[in-house]
Structure formats: structure tokens, C-alpha cells
Chain A
Amino acid sequence: MELIKVWDIPGGVHPPENKHQSMAEPLGYIDIPPQLILPVSQHIGAPAKPIVSVGQKVLGGEVVAEADGVFSANVHAPTSGTIAAIVEHLVPHPSGMRDTCVIIDTDGKDEWVALSPWEDFAERDHDDIIKRIRDCGIAGLGGAGFPSAVKLNPRANHTIDTLIINGTECEPYITADDMLMRERAEDIVAGTQILARLLHNPAKVIIGIEDNKPEAIERVRKAAEGTDILVVSFPTKYPSGGEKQLIQILTGREVPSGQIPATIGVVCQNVGTTAAIYRALRYGEPLVKRITTVVGEALEQQRNIEVLLGTPVHYVLDKHGFNDKKASRLVMGGPMMGFALPDTSVPVVKTTNCLLAPSKKELPPPEPAMACIRCGMCAEACPAELLPQQLFWYAQAEDLEKLETHNLFDCIECGACSYVCPSHIPLVQYYRAAKGEIRQHRIDKEKSDRSRRRFEFRQERIAKEEAEKEAKRLARKKAAEEAKKKLAEQKAAAPAEASAAQAPASAVDADKQKAKLERLLASAQESLKKAREPLADDATDEQREKQAARIKQAELKVSEAQKKLNESHPGEGTSAGNDPVAAAIERAKAKQTMDPADKLRASIESLQKRLEKAEQKAADAERDKPDMADALKQGAIKLQEKIAAAKQELADLAPPKSAPSQSHSEKPVSASTDAAQAAIERAKAKMSMAPDEKLRSSLESLYKRLEKAEQKAATAQQEGSDKAEALQQGVDKLKEKITSTQKELAELTPTTVAEETPQDPATSDAASLAIEKAKAKAAAMATMSVADKLRNQVDSLEARLEKARSKLAQAEQDNDDNLDAFKTGVSKLEDKLAATREQLAEHE
């Protein structure tokens, strides 16, 4: 007999063993009960699925509920009978919960299916053996009910060097394993050999037994003679039988927190399980019965019995003279870790190692808990080396974080701390509750994390879709441009017709731009003029310097504006070079067909150039010959007046021009534009949900409404109806709406609108209207002072910004696709407004 070093575990307690009561009698048997209740979940893992139907006849050993996956176990009929029901029934569980049970009315004949014994079980294939262990529904009989096949089939990366067969049985009162070891030591040894083979013959195969079971040790040693199995006994101490503790005692190793013993090369099986595995392999017997200790002073007879799984507890108790008046409680399992049964109707299951029916004197009801005095007795008793008093403290405070830092989840709930607590605090109960709370917290966190991820993913997806839409939009724009180009080419091919068509086609665009540039020029000139205003005699050098700088800046602006204006109308300016007058004459000669508006524009241009020069002269004179300055200034003012007049003329001219532009494009050139028109129409059709189209359609309907409203208003006025005013107001409002919609449309897709308006008969009307307004405004502005202009501009910008903002808010609420476009619109407007305000401030 080889000797093996035995380690000690920290902590532990020595409660009264109370093992003798149930060992006085030999192993007993009770009759088959009239009814068996078989829970589908007698093991850890997925509940088995019932595969029988009510009324069906079953034989002993027949599967009534099938393992659901690997992490599950079959449930067999322990004897023959009829399936009475498959219902929710009270099951042995600390919570007193109900679970699905297959209920069998036994027939007493105990007829069995034909079992298939394996004489040569030792030579069988590894996979066959695992399969049979699984088929026979073997789960850990020690207490947890871990499906044995899973444990015996460790992962490839776990090399098992130690197999431990647990015969410790450290809980007081329980003697089921003790009895088994005495009665069936050979089964255990044979089973151990099989397990060793399954695990590829680990270096050490140990059967560990506490030293308070000398008879069992003797019997097992004898049975193990001639084998490599080491039968090791070690000092009695609770909870040596805990898997982790037993591994520590026999190997000195610790199972890392949160992992299984296989990670340190150890597999641990209970002696009962080992014997059951042997019987399953050798005789083909499924797990349908087990040895259970029936003990406690509330019973007349205390002993170990072999009992069919599913036997109701009350049936067992009745057979042992249970006196319910004497009993303080009924415990399934031992006094340290067992749980009090809510009712005697629960059945015996695979993990039922003991039924304890103590008298009130034996296990008196718990004393009321007192305050924790932090005496530390619990910490001394803890086999996991936790600080139970601190855990208790944090559990009361629901400080989940501190509970985790104090390693709550390493608590094995052995109850040693509660056992020693002088204040009778039910510590384990607090830990169980806290664990549950943390688990719930984790689940909640997982849930919220998941939804957060989902949200983020959605945002990403929306952004992606947005980008795709943007790309499509660009493609559409390109298509439209191409269509336009095509149109231009067609026009070039047919210049006679095209000349008429081109002018109106680009007129609106060009006019608009020109008006803008002209405005710019006017304002630049105005500021130049202001800058040139003579300073008071007593002006300081600094002021003069400033003025010079201002003049220079203004001049720069004017020339820039001029240049831009020239560039945008190359036909008018490029060839003119530096001599605007000559250029004007040249232009006038070259373009006899030029329409009056263009002529006017040209004259304005030349006038402005003259003005510039005049002003320059005036400024020079101011510096050199003050007496001549006044006269020169007068000339400049006159020139300015002339410019304003010319602009007014131009503005007056513009409306009739845009009106015919429509008819021009529709009537005479319809043949040449049709193809392009069609292309554009197609492109537009593709823009299924484009917001600008929406806006356009709304504009359309608005126009229709406006027309009707105007008609109504007119008739009402004619008839002198008192409704006339109200109707007129409605018309005004509609007009307002139209302009705002137009603005929006322009802001949203300025380029598209600008390009498409000429071709779009529905909106060209509106566009021309807008242009008209803009021109009128430009004209009006030309005569206004700079400050007033700026003020006007600020006002209109403010109004536009407000509208844009409300639109943006609306878009935000609706989570519009064009949110970004609105946003940039608003920010652009804001910038513009700020700039204009600055200018205004400068002027005032």
C-alpha cells in the first residue's frame, strides 16, 4: 500500500457527526410505491423531454424522458406501470417550486425491458462506454447531479492526471455512501477502473474516505487490492467532501476560481455514481434507484434504504414511522447543506442522499439573529478563506461591487460560517440572495449592453444608408448635368433654333447671378464712397491711416466684384480688356441682337467703370487740389445716379423678359428640347423620395391653391363681399408660403433647382417670380444706403434662419433623411447672418 501525502484545508468545522443512528441496521428495502413521481430535471443542465404519453404502458428501464442535448440526462421508468399524468408537480428544490414530472401508476409486476449486459465491458470502445453512461441517465449522486458522461469526456486540452473517487461523506447524519462502500465495495472498485480507463489511465487514481468510516475504508481497501487504486483516508472535518476541498486535501492543488477541476488535471466522481456507472456498463441497468439515508429522531426506524427514484417522500417516511408532531422540519440532504422540504409529496430523486426528520430537540428552530460583532469565527471556519462577516456587511448594504471584490462567488455555501456564528446570523442565506441579485444584475447589464449595441448598429446603418442616398443624389445630379450638356449640344447642332432656346434656358440662372453680383458691386461701391469721405481737419494720423486702409479695402472689393461680374458674363466683358468704353462699343457693335436688358447691363457696367475713375479722381483731388474735389465729387454722384437709373430700367425690363422665356422654351424649340426634357424627366423619376421633389410638388399644389384663392378673392372683391379681406389675407399667406418653400427648395438643392427650373414648366413660374422679386429688391437696394441695405439683409436673413431652424427642428423630430442638409443650411445662414451683422456694425 503506497502512502500518499494528505493536505489540510483551511477553516472547516466539526459539527456532531450523528452517523451512528442510521448505521445500526443493514441496508433496507421498501416496497414499490403505488405511484412514482419522476421530475424531468433531476440533474444540472437542460431538463429532459418527456417522450411518453398519458395512458401509455411502460416497463421498468424504459426511457420516459429523453436527454435534451449533451448537458442533460435521461429519465427512466423505475418499474412497470402506466403513465398517469405528465404535470407540474412539487419537486425537491430549495425554492419549493413545481416542475414537469412524469407520474407513473405502478402495476407491482416490476416487468423490465430486456437489458443488454456487457460481459466484456472493460474492452468496449471509449465512445460506446460514454454513450451507455449517457443512455443510462447517470448523473452525480453526491448532490449536484452533474451529468456524468460530460465529466468523463474532458476537453482535449485537459490532460487528466488524477482521478478522485469521493467517499468522504462529510455531512453529519448521512451514511448512504458509507453503506454503499461497505456493501458494494467491489462495484465501486470496478467502476473506478472503468473511469480510469475512460480518462486514459491517470497517474493517480484515489478513493478518498474520511477517517470516521473505518469499516468502509477496510472494505474498499480489500476490494482494491491488486489494483493501482489508492484508498486514502484523512481526518474528519466538514466540508472535506466538497469537490474543491477534497481535491485540495488529496493533491494540494486548488481549482482556479470559476473553473472546473479538469483544468488542473483532476476529475472527481462520487462513489455512488461510480458504482452506478459500473452497473450501467456491466448489466445495462439505467439509474432508477439509489441508496438514501432515512434518519432523524422524528422517525421510529432510522436506516439506509435502496429506494426507487420517484418514490414520494411521504411513502418513505410512512414506512419508517414518521411522527410529524415531533419533527421540527424535514430536510432533504444533510443538516449543513440540505434544504427544508415544503411538503412530503415531493419525490426522491437522483441527488437525494438523505431524508432527515429531526425532532425539535435535535435540531431546534433557529435562534433570532443578533448584530454581527465581527468576531471573525466565520472567517476562521470558511474553507474558501473568505471574510464572511465582510460579505454579510456588504450583502446587507447591497454593495454588489464590494461583494465581488470579496469573492462572493467563491463561496461554496457549505454553511460553516453560519454554523459557528455566535449571533446566529443566517449568513449563507444572505450570500445566496446576494448571488442571485448579482446574477440578475449581470443579466440586466447584458440586456442593456445588447440594446445599446443594437442602437449603435442602427445609427451606423442609418449613416450608411444616408451615404448611399447621397451617392445616388450625386449620380442623379450628374445625369441631369449630362442631360443638360446633351441639350446644349443639340442646341449647337441647331443654332438657329437653339439661340432662341438657349437664352431663356440660361437667362434665369444668369440673371439671378448677375443681380447678385450687381448687388455686391453696388454695396462695394457704396462702402468705397463712404471710405473716401473726407476726414475732419483735426483727424489724427492714425485715423488717416485707417481711412487709407479702408479705402484700399473697398477698392479691392469693388474691383473684385467687377471682375466677378465680368467673368460671369464673358460675352460682355472678357474681350473688353482694360478699356470698358471701347469694349462696350465693341460689344454694342458685335451684338446688335442683344436684348435691351443686356444693353442696359453693359451701360451700367461702363457707367460703373466711369464712376470708379471719377471717384479715383475725386479722391486724388481731395488730396492734391481740395478746391477741385467738390466738383469732381458732384460728377461722381451724378454718375451714381445714372447707374441707379440704369439699374432701375434693367429691373423694369426684367419681368417681361422672364415671362416670354417660358413661352420661348415651350413653343418654338419644343422639338429640340424634347429629348433632353425626356432625359431630365427620367432622371427625376428616379429620385423616388428626394426631398426637393417633395418640395416641388408641394409648391405645385400651392400654386394651384394660390390661383384659386386669388380668383376667389377677386370675385369677392368685385361683389363687394365682406369676405374679401379675409380671402386677400389667405392669398397673402399662400404667397408667403410659396416664397418660403421656394427658399427651402433653393437651399436644399441649389444647383439642381437652378438647373432644372428652366425646364420645369411647373416651377419656372415660381422661379421667375422669385427672380422678379430679387431684381426688384436689387433695384430698391441700389437706391438705399448701405446700412439700410444691410439692415434689410439682416432682417431677411433672420427670417430665413428662423424658418430654416423650425424646419430643422421638425426634421429632427421626424428623423428626416435630410437632417444634415437642413443642418448645413442653418449653419450657413447663421454664418451669413453673423457676417452681415458685422458689416452692419461697421457701417453704423
Chain B
Amino acid sequence: MALTRITSPHTHRALGTGAVMRNVVLATLPGLAVLTYFFGLGTLHNVLLASAAALGFEAAVMKLRSRPVWFYLRDCSALVTGVLLGLALPPYCPWWLVVLGSAVAIILAKQLYGGMGFNPFNPAMVAYVVLLISFPLQMSQWAAPQDIGGQTPGVIEALKLIWLGSPIDGYTAATPLDTVKQNSSLMLDALYLQDPVLSAGQFVGAGWEWANVAFLLGGLYLLYRRIFTWHAPAAMLASLSLMAFLFYDGGSSQSGGSVLFHLFSGATMLGAFFIVTDPVSSAVSTRGRLIYGAAIGVLVYVIRIWGNYPDGVAFAVLLLNFAAPFIDYYTLPRTYGHKKSERATRKVDQ
């Protein structure tokens, strides 16, 4: 009697790549909800449009590459890229910006390298940086949170802003990171009292603090589900905190901002739990991921305080994407039965 020949192991854990990706999308929902609550429909629209565009481009490329489209869409990696890009883009940015970003992420940053698993850079961050450099005006106008007296655009206005290109000036406000970066005359306490966004918040700034808390919760959920390990995000948050602590200087006008300020403003938590944890473009070993995360944390602070951009998560992540293979070479774990860990650069006599 002939039987099926299958190699061991014969049993598999249920969790598949598609499930991993869907968990990631699920974990972004609290953050998305908070952003929508504070900044209106802009971000939600971004996420939906970017996801649809990303899936569309993915399907188109798969068709061009003569691959089974549905099999690859089902892994949901394109969906994750779209969602993350949508979350990162400013609310109410023009529709073409979102679509262009999705195209860059899927076609340029992912499929040109061979598709899922082969991209050396985080696709969403590549797209974000391409847009930031190419369209600085559109990319630096962030909507004002609803708490501060101003109104968020309604559905009609939102669609007008996005699809017809109405001027957005009336709805924007400086982000906490912008405000602190541009401050050169006030003590931080005074700045907090004066600035509308900062003063409206509980501890960092209206809207931003809660968005970061929500992303933190989402990240903790993923940790609980063992979708990724704690090493990279913890290292990033720790090194960012350390930098903020070292350069806080008690809150002078030259201060970079408190530890809490840096942890809960900008893209810190989104970056720590949804970008830094992207396995494809990060270092692989436990030690490697600690180094990778810590370096990103340091770079985020450096770019925020001494760089030209108010936030630096995207740049920091891309720079460390470059360094990941190098880190991998020097951080092989010590294998059972070996006295010390090897280096991948070791020569073997064969």
C-alpha cells in the first residue's frame, strides 16, 4: 500500500503568517480609533485608502509576476503596509499623496526586491520618507486636535480637503514635537502653559498622548500573543528614554523635552511596536534586536532634537534597516555545546 511521504515534523502550530498579520492590523485599531477621535476622519480615510491602494498594487504586481494573486493577498502583508502608512500620514492629506505612498511602498520598497520577506527596508517607512522629502508642505501640515477649541472637519469638508485639494490651513496646528523644537525662548513649563496643544493635554499634548497610549496597548496585545519578542521595542523605548533623560536639563528653553514627552509624542509608540518590530527588515537574533532597537531609540532622539525634522522614527528605522545585516553578522547566539558565540564572518576550512 503506497502512502503519502511527508517529512517531519508532521504537526504544526496553528498560527500562520496571515494570522500574524491580521493580529498586527487588529492591534492598530485602538490607535486608529484614538486618532480618529481627536483628529477626525482624516486618518481613518488615510488608512482605508492606503490599504485599498496597497492591496491593489500588490494584486497588480502579482498578476504581472504570474503569481496566484489570492494566495499572496491572503497573507495580509500588503494590508499591514497600507494600514501603517495610512496611520503615519497626516490626516486630510491629498488623496494622491496616499496613493503615491502606497505605490512606493508596495512596488518600489517591497515587490522590486522580491516581495514579502525579501525587502531590506520597511516599505511603509520608505514610502513615508519618499513623500516627506518630495512633498514637505503636504507632509508637515497636521490637523489640530479637537480638544483645543478648533473644530475638526466634518465628512463633507474632509472629502473636499482630500479629494478636491481645498486649503487645509484652517484646520492645522503645530504638533507638540514641532512646538518644543521651535521653542528657544520659553522655559518648558511656560511653554506648556502657553501653547494650546500642549496645555490641552494631560501630560504631553492633546491627542498625541492618547494615541501613543493606544498604540502601546496594541503593542502589549501583540506581545501577549507572542507575535514578536519584547527585545527591539523595549530597547528602543529604553534608549530613547535614556537620551531624553540625559538631555532634559530640567526644562530650560533649550531642553529637548522630558522622558515622558518623548515616549508619548510623535510616532514613538507606533514606531516601537509596529515599525521596529517588522521582522523582515530588522536584525534576527535576540542580541541583535536589542542593539537594533537601542540604536533606533538613540537616532530618533538625535533627529528630533538636532536634526531638521520634528520626528525621526522613519529615518532612524531606515538607517538601522541598512545596519541590520551587519548587526546579524556579529550577534549570532551561542549555540548549545559551543563555548562562545560565533561570528558570521568566521572562515570555515572545508
- Mark A residues whose CB is within 8 Å of B: 10, 13, 15-16, 94, 96, 172, 244, 248, 254-259, 314, 324, 327-331, 333, 335-344, 356, 358, 363, 365-368, 370-377, 379-380, 383-387, 389-390, 400-402, 404-407, 410, 413, 415, 418-424, 426, 428-429, 432, 438, 441-442, 445
What is the CB-to-nearest-CB distance from A430 to chain B, in angstroms, rounded to a whole number?
10
Q: Does B95 contact A (CB under 8 A)?
A: no
B17 close to A384 (CB less than 8 A): no
* Whole-angstrom CA separation of A228 from B132 in the bound complex: 73
**Of all chain B residues, which has the CB nearest A417?**
B9
B11 close to A363 (CB less than 8 A): yes
B7 close to A385 (CB less than 8 A): no
* Whole-angstrom CA separation of A419 from B344 in the bound complex: 26
**Chain B, interface size: which category?**
35 or more
Contacts of A419 in B (CB 8 A): 9, 11-13
B338 close to A387 (CB less than 8 A): no
> Which residue from B3, B226, B280 sits with its C-beta under 8 Å from A374?
B280
* Whole-angstrom CA separation of A226 from B81 in the bound complex: 65
B284 close to A376 (CB less than 8 A): yes
The residue among A329, A342, A374, A418 with the most chain B CB atoms within 10 A of its own CB is A374
* Whole-angstrom CA separation of A374 from B282 in the bound complex: 8
Query: Would you call the interface of chain A mostly helix, strand, loop, or mixed?
Result: loop
A371 close to B333 (CB less than 8 A): no
> Which residue from B71, B226, B228, B284 sits with its C-beta under 8 Å from A387?
B284
Contacts of B13 in A (CB 8 A): 13, 15, 419-420, 422
B338 close to A257 (CB less than 8 A): yes
A372 and B10 contact, Cβ closer than 8 Å, known pairs A343-B1, A379-B284, A422-B15: no
* Whole-angstrom CA separation of A343 from B332 in the bound complex: 42
A428 and B7 contact, Cβ closer than 8 Å, known pairs A371-B115, A406-B332, A423-B16: yes
Contacts of A442 in B (CB 8 A): 350
Contacts of A341 in B (CB 8 A): 3
* Whole-angstrom CA separation of A661 from B19 in the bound complex: 111
A-B pairs, top 6 by smallest CB distance, nearest first, are A415-B9, A371-B117, A257-B337, A335-B10, A335-B11, A384-B336
Q: Does B118 contact A (CB under 8 A)?
A: yes
B7 close to A339 (CB less than 8 A): yes
What is the CB-to-nearest-CB distance from B86 to chain A, in angstroms, rounded to a whole number?
21
Contacts of A413 in B (CB 8 A): 8
Which residues between 18 and 39 of chain B lie within 8 Å of chain A, taking CB atoms?
19-20
A340 close to B1 (CB less than 8 A): no
* Whole-angstrom CA separation of A578 from B294 in the bound complex: 101
B9 close to A372 (CB less than 8 A): no
* Whole-angstrom CA separation of A343 from B3 in the bound complex: 6
Contacts of B118 in A (CB 8 A): 371
**Of all chain A residues, which has the CB nearest B341?**
A385
A407 and B342 contact, Cβ closer than 8 Å, known pairs A341-B3, A370-B116, A379-B333: yes
* Whole-angstrom CA separation of A337 from B8 in the bound complex: 5
Contacts of B150 in A (CB 8 A): none
A328 close to B336 (CB less than 8 A): no
Contacts of A339 in B (CB 8 A): 7-8
B11 close to A379 (CB less than 8 A): no
**Of all chain B residues, which has the CB nearest A173?**
B11
- Mark B residues whose CB is within 8 Å of A: 1-13, 15-17, 19-20, 71, 75, 77, 115-118, 226-229, 279-280, 282, 284-286, 289, 328, 332-338, 342-348, 350
> Which residue from B16, B289, B338 sits with its C-beta under 8 Å from A407?
B338
Show 13 residue pairs from A and B whose CB-CB distance is below 8 angstroms, ordered by the A residue: A10-B336, A340-B10, A358-B10, A366-B6, A368-B71, A370-B117, A371-B117, A371-B118, A376-B229, A401-B348, A404-B348, A419-B11, A441-B350
Contacts of A13 in B (CB 8 A): 13
What is the CB-to-nearest-CB distance from B3 to chain A, in angstroms, rounded to a whole number?
5
A405 close to B343 (CB less than 8 A): yes
> Which residue from A257, A370, A380, A385 sits with its C-beta under 8 Å from B229?
A380
**Of all chain A residues, which has the CB nearest B281?**
A374
Query: Would you call the interface of chain B mostly helix, strand, loop, or mixed?
Result: loop
Contacts of B10 in A (CB 8 A): 329, 331, 335-336, 338, 340, 356, 358, 363
A255 and B337 contact, Cβ closer than 8 Å, known pairs A330-B3, A422-B17: yes
What is the CB-to-nearest-CB distance from A658 to chain B, in angstroms, rounded to a whole number?
69
The residue among A328, A367, A375, A407 with the most chain B CB atoms within 10 A of its own CB is A375
> Which residue from B4, B16, B116 sits with its C-beta under 8 Å from A329?
B4
A389 close to B284 (CB less than 8 A): yes
What is the CB-to-nearest-CB distance from A509 to chain B, in angstroms, rounded to a whole number?
61
B279 close to A385 (CB less than 8 A): no
**Of all chain A residues, which has the CB nearest B277?**
A375
A336 and B348 contact, Cβ closer than 8 Å, known pairs A370-B17, A373-B17: no
* Whole-angstrom CA separation of A410 from B10 in the bound complex: 22
Contacts of A259 in B (CB 8 A): 337
The residue among A333, A373, A402, A410 with the most chain B CB atoms within 10 A of its own CB is A373
Contacts of A367 in B (CB 8 A): 12, 16
B284 close to A406 (CB less than 8 A): no
A423 close to B17 (CB less than 8 A): yes
* Whole-angstrom CA separation of A413 from B344 in the bound complex: 21
* Whole-angstrom CA separation of A634 from B47 in the bound complex: 118
* Whole-angstrom CA separation of A428 from B10 in the bound complex: 11
Given contacts A15-B13, A370-B17, 6 further A-B contacts (CB under 8 A): A257-B335, A257-B338, A329-B6, A336-B9, A377-B226, A405-B345
The residue among B3, B15, B285, B328 with the most chain A CB atoms within 10 A of its own CB is B3
Contacts of A329 in B (CB 8 A): 3-6, 10
* Whole-angstrom CA separation of A338 from B228 in the bound complex: 30
* Whole-angstrom CA separation of A139 from B333 in the bound complex: 35
* Whole-angstrom CA separation of A374 from B4 in the bound complex: 30
What is the CB-to-nearest-CB distance from A384 to chain B, in angstroms, rounded to a whole number?
4
B117 close to A374 (CB less than 8 A): yes
A373 close to B6 (CB less than 8 A): no
* Whole-angstrom CA separation of A374 from B334 in the bound complex: 19
A342 close to B3 (CB less than 8 A): yes
The residue among A244, A367, A370, A401 with the most chain B CB atoms within 10 A of its own CB is A370
A365 and B344 contact, Cβ closer than 8 Å, known pairs A172-B11, A373-B280, A422-B15: no
Contacts of A10 in B (CB 8 A): 336
Contacts of A432 in B (CB 8 A): 7
Contacts of B17 in A (CB 8 A): 370, 373, 375, 422-423
Contacts of A389 in B (CB 8 A): 284
The residue among B13, B285, B332, B348 with the most chain A CB atoms within 10 A of its own CB is B13
* Whole-angstrom CA separation of A257 from B348 in the bound complex: 15
* Whole-angstrom CA separation of A424 from B11 in the bound complex: 10
B7 close to A429 (CB less than 8 A): yes
What is the CB-to-nearest-CB distance from A96 to chain B, in angstroms, rounded to a whole number?
7
A410 close to B284 (CB less than 8 A): no
B8 close to A428 (CB less than 8 A): yes
Contacts of A438 in B (CB 8 A): 350
Contacts of B12 in A (CB 8 A): 366-367, 418-419, 421, 424
> Which residue from A338, A379, A384, A422 sits with its C-beta under 8 Å from B20?
A422
* Whole-angstrom CA separation of A641 from B350 in the bound complex: 79
Contacts of A407 in B (CB 8 A): 335, 338, 342
What is the CB-to-nearest-CB distance from B175 to chain A, in angstroms, rounded to a whole number?
32
**Of all chain A residues, which has the CB nearest B74?**
A370
Contacts of B332 in A (CB 8 A): 387, 405-406
> Which residue from B7, B117, B342 sits with its C-beta under 8 Å from A406?
B342
B16 close to A424 (CB less than 8 A): yes
A344 close to B229 (CB less than 8 A): no
What is the CB-to-nearest-CB distance from A428 to chain B, in angstroms, rounded to a whole number?
6
B11 close to A15 (CB less than 8 A): yes
What is the CB-to-nearest-CB distance from B290 to chain A, in angstroms, rounded to a whole number?
13
Contacts of A356 in B (CB 8 A): 10
B16 close to A390 (CB less than 8 A): no
**Of all chain B residues, which has the CB nearest A364?**
B12
What is the CB-to-nearest-CB distance from B310 to chain A, in angstroms, rounded to a whole number?
31
* Whole-angstrom CA separation of A371 from B346 in the bound complex: 28
* Whole-angstrom CA separation of A386 from B342 in the bound complex: 11
> Which residue from A254, A374, A415 sits with its C-beta under 8 Å from B337?
A254
What is the CB-to-nearest-CB distance from A436 to chain B, in angstroms, rounded to a whole number?
13
